[in-house]
Every structure is written in C-alpha cells, then in structure tokens.
Amino acid sequence: MEAVEAGVIFLQDYVNSMCEGKPAWKIVVTTAGTTLLLLWLKEFLFQGESLFVRGKKFFFRLVRRIPQVRAKIEEEINKVSESMEKEMNENIKHAGYLTSLPSKGWSVEEIIKETEEYCGYGTFDWESGCASGTVYNGNKILTELMTKVYGMSAWTNPLHADVFPGVRKMEAEVVRMCCTIYNGGPLSCGTMTSGGTESIIMAIKAYREYAKNVKGIKNPEIVVPITAHAAFDKGCQLLHIRIKHIPIDPVSMKVDVNAMEKAITKNTIMLAGSAPQFPHGVVDPIEEIADLGVKYDIPVHVDACLGGFLIPFMKEAGYLLPLFDFCVEGVTSISADTHKYGYAPKGSSVIMYSDEKWRHYQYFVCPDWPGGIYATSTISGSRAGGIIAACWASLMYHGHLGYVEYTKKIIDTTKLIEKGCRTIPGIKVMGKPDVSIVALGSDDFNIYMLSDGMSKKGWNLNALQFPPCIHIAVTVLHTQPGVVEKFVNDVTEIATEIMKNPPKELGGSAAIYGMAQSVPDRSLVGEMAWCYLDAVYSTRASEKEKNQM
C-alpha cells in the first residue's frame, strides 16, 4: 500500500513540475489536443482493413487519376463489357428481349411454349455430367415429386405460421432432422434459410450480437481460413466486421491452426473451418479449431454447406473422416445446404446451433413497428413455403439409406477421378480430396489452358486462384457410367498435347485468369466483375437483332 501511495505522490509532483509556469489555457489546450490526436490515430490505425491494404488502395486511386491511365482503363473495361454482353446474346441465340409487359396477358399455351424455348437455351449438356457441381441430381421422379409438392404449397408463407401450420411443421422437422444428422444435443436448434450464404451470414450476425451484448465487444473480428467461402467476406462487409484470413498449409491445403491461434484477439467473435472447403475439397482440422474455441471461449462455426449431406453419411458409406459435428466440444454452429447434396431445389439451406442461446441472437425483433410487433428468424421477411415443402419432400424421399447410397457412389467416383488424375504427367492433385471435389494444378504449364481445352470438349469446370488450379465437384450426374473415364481421358489428352506443343499465346479463360491474378490493383478486377454482373442484367439486343427490328 505504502509503495502505491508513494507512487501517486511522485506522479503528482511530476505532473505539477511539468505544468509549472505554464498558463492554464495552454495546459488545457495541449491536453485536449493530444487526446484528440491519440483518438484519431487509434481510429486511423485500427480499422477493418490493415494500414498496408489501405495504403495500397490509396496509391492506386492516385495512379488512376492520371488521364492517360484512366482512358486506357476505360477502354479496356468497355472491351470486356462488350465481349461479355456479346456472349450473353449468343447464349440466347440472339433472340432479343422483352422490355415491357405485354399489354394483354399471354395464354397458358403461349407461356409454356416460350418457357420451353427459354429453358432450351444453352449448349452445356449438364444432364450427362459435364458440369462441375451446378446440378446435384437429375432424378426425373424426384423432379416430378418436388414440382407437385411445390404446386400444393405454392402460395404458402411461413411468415404466417397461423395460416400455414403445415409448412411451419415441415420447416421445424427439416431443422430437427438436420440437427439429428449432426448429433445435436437436446438444446440443438436452427432455422432454414435461402442458401448457404444466408446461413453463414446468420451465424456471423448471431455471434456479433452475442459478443456485443454479453461480452461488450465493440470492434468485432472473425478469424477464418483463406479458403473459407466468400460468403464470410460478404457477411462481414454487410455486418461491418473485420475478417482475418488465415493461410493454409501449401501441401495439405488445410488451415494452419497455429497461425489461427496467433490471429485471435480480445475482439475475436467467431472462428470457422470448412468441412470440406470449396476450392480443394479438403476438410479443415475441425477438432483443433474447436479446441481453440474452447480455450479462448470463442464460438466455432463449421461450414458444411457443400458437404452437408455427404460427410454425415460417409462413415456408413465406408469412408472415415475425423470428427466435425456437434460431438466435438466447442463446435457451436454448422451450416448445411439442403439445395446441394440434399437434392432439394435451389433456395434452401439450414443453419444449426448447439444451443438455443445462439439462435436468439440470430433473430430480428422490432417491437415498436406500427405494422405490428415484427419478429423474423432470418434475413427475409416473407419466405417461399413451397421451397420448404419441396426440401422436406426431398429429405423424406431419400431417407437415411438413400443419402448413404448416393454418398457412397459420389465418393467412389471422386476417388476414381483422383486416382486417374494422379497418374497423368504434368498434372498434380491439390491436397488429398476428402469428400467430393478434386482440384488439379500443374507445375509444368498454365493450368487454365487445361480448363480451356476441357471447355472445348464440353466440360464446364471451376477456375480457382491463389494458387492457380481448377476443380470438378462430383455430383450424382457424374456417377453415371463412362463419365469418369471420359473425364480422365480428356484431361490426359489435353495435358499431353499442351506438354508436347506448349501454345505460345494464352487465349480464353487462361488469359483472363492469368491476367486477373497478376493485377496488383484488385479494385480493377472488381470493376471487371461488375461488367459481368451488368451483362447478366443486360437486355440490350445485339447489333444483329437491331438490324432485323
């Protein structure tokens, strides 16, 4: 005690001696000024983006003010824009666009005929399994069943649980069945959402609210593998949260858990791992991430959006995975997409929590709205009851054994593709594919050339970056006879050709992807992506039509 008192007295004397002989106004102004400066400095230094990233952006903004640079960039962007629009027009066979409502409604026959026309556009034969992911099942009986169930519930809206008690029951059952699949305890719970992205955003939102209300965290951060789905970045942008991306091991492609631990601060509100991650299809070390969660008292989300209806059935299908579900202490939430390997129509996913306390923070409640006390569980207000019903129908149609059977077929197929590709000269398989994705890279040539070659043979694969590779996500459609053989043969043929006669110039996606990864100004790549989205919504007819009109 005495030492503390002595310390205080010393400090008082020191401050007094510092202020001696100075006018009071000067002392006040200096103190206030210094405080403001320190506060500003703190704001400036500690933002969502690091100082380095902001510095880089500032530099590129300056460069782009130079008129010649700006003109050149605009010229390039216009070119990209035009070529994208052209491609969109080619894809619809230059049919032109409707741009206003028909003054008199069409007859049912006309609409059906036109719909047939619209659905007939496109040259990719996805039904024979040429597309990576995209369509997870093409079963005609299932299609008919879901269409019928959708029709029966087309007008329902779970926002009005009193008017549509049946659809409420279906949603509650879908969530419960998923919690059971993932070994949730008696307090486990969740909600359905419109897709994996929304499921992830809801988990981030729940943990942000929890951190704010219970722990008083004002500047929340989440820590995720660099390979975590971009939906985490989207959620953080929407919810004003800082995201820290953790590097992966360059051989296993799994997140570096030590680096993850180092990135944890008192502001960390959530850790995440993927089971499996999208780029290379490997499962992050969920148990180790969950251990960190327990050690630092931070919620842990497992993103099983992709593998949601594969990984829980793999053991019974004969493939062992390390633990990833609610059995693991520390795992507090899991997202699983029913609209991927659950074979439900697009627009459905499930977010699950180990405990009801988390779900409460996901809810949105507006008690004072003149429109009534308003409470919703997810981002949407009104929701499509028909999609919930169709999802429920898909789960009931397959049952536990149906999913085990499909899982076995899909994992068997993936292993065959992996095995085949490992023997192809010039091709390397990235990491060890744990579930349904095989990612291919090359140390000998630009891997995007392989992707272009595969496109010419009718395949539609995913291009990945950092590091450059491409992947195929295996679905039920790839388990059809002959698909694996064709895939491996085509990759072999193209890779051999590239190795024998390396093309001098890169074309197609090889040029675009190669260029996009080497552009240091990422905002430029962003603007190119805007061009794509603009083209998606474009209803400008091509020159050819304009001449005909």
- Comparing CA positions, the residue from 362, 357, 355 lying closest to residue 329 is 355
Q: Is 436 in the site for ligand PLP (CB under 6 A)?
A: no
Give whole-number Cα distances, 508 to 7, 357, 501, 520, in Å: 72, 50, 18, 21
Shortest distance in whole angstroms from residue 204 CB to ligand PLP: 12
In terms of CB distance, is 197 or 268 closer to ligand PLP?
197
Q: DSSP of 157-210, one letter per residue?
A: -TT-TTT-HHHHHHHHHHHHHHHHHTT--TT-EEEEESSHHHHHHHHHHHHHHH
- Interface with ligand PLP includes 437 (CB under 6 A)? no
Distance between CA atoms of 335 and 224, rounded to whole angstroms? 15
> What is the per-residue DSSP string for 9-22?
HHHHHHHHHHHTT-
Enumerate residues 248-287 that contact ligand PLP by CB under 6 A: 274, 277-278
What's the rounded Cα separation, in Å, for the pair 237 and 235? 5
Q: Is 85 in the site for ligand PLP (CB under 6 A)?
A: no
Q: Which stretch binds ligand PLP (CB under 6 A): 22-30, 169-177, 216-224, 301-309?
A: 301-309
- When asked if residue 475 is in the footprint of ligand PLP (CB under 6 A), the reply is no
Closest among 457, 508, 373, 421 to 130, alpha carbons compared:
457
* Three-state secondary-structure class, residue 276: coil
CB of 278 to ligand PLP, least distance (A): 4
- Count of residues that interact with ligand PLP, criterion CB under 6 A: 13
Work out the angle between the directed axes of helices 196-210 and 231-239 (0-180°, nearest 10).
Answer: 40
* Of the residues 132, 153, 191, 197, which one makes contact with ligand PLP according to CB under 6 A: 197
- Of 174, 178, 300, 306, the one binding ligand PLP (CB under 6 A) is 306
Nearest CB to ligand PLP, comparing residues 197 and 413: 197
Residue choice 167, 272, 283, 305 for contact with ligand PLP (CB under 6 A): 305
Q: Give least dist CB 196 to ligand PLP, A.
A: 2
Q: Is 433 in the site for ligand PLP (CB under 6 A)?
A: no
Helical residues (DSSP H) of 423-461, grouped into ranges = 447-456
CB of 192 to ligand PLP, least distance (A): 12
Please, which residues have CB within 8 angstroms of residue 211's CB and are 6 or more apart in sequence?
Answer: 217, 220, 269
| Of residues 430, 438, 431, 453, the one with CA closest to residue 502 | 453
Backbone angles phi, psi at 301, to 5 degrees: -100, 135
Nearer Cβ to ligand PLP (306/531): 306
Which residue, 255, 254, 231, is CA-closest to 243?
A: 231
- Does 229 engage in binding with ligand PLP (CB under 6 A)? yes
User: Which of the ranges 35-43, 299-307, 365-373, 484-492 carries the binding residues for ligand PLP, by CB under 6 A?
Assistant: 299-307
224 binds ligand PLP (CB under 6 A): no
Looking at 3-11, 47-55, 189-197, 248-256, which segment touches ligand PLP (CB under 6 A)? 189-197
Q: What is the rounded CA–CA span in Å between residue 522 and residue 524?
A: 5
Shortest CB 98 distance to ligand PLP, Å: 28
Q: Should residue 464 be labelled a site residue for ligand PLP when binding is judged by CB under 6 A?
A: no
337 contacts ligand PLP (rule: CB under 6 A): yes
205/193 Cα distance (integer angstroms): 14
Q: Is 301 in the site for ligand PLP (CB under 6 A)?
A: no
Query: By CB under 6 A, is residue 541 in contact with ligand PLP?
Result: no
Stretch that binds ligand PLP, among 55-63, 105-113, 195-203, 502-510 (CB under 6 A): 195-203
| Residue ranges in contact with ligand PLP by CB under 6 A | 195-197, 229, 231, 274, 277-278, 303, 305-306, 337, 349
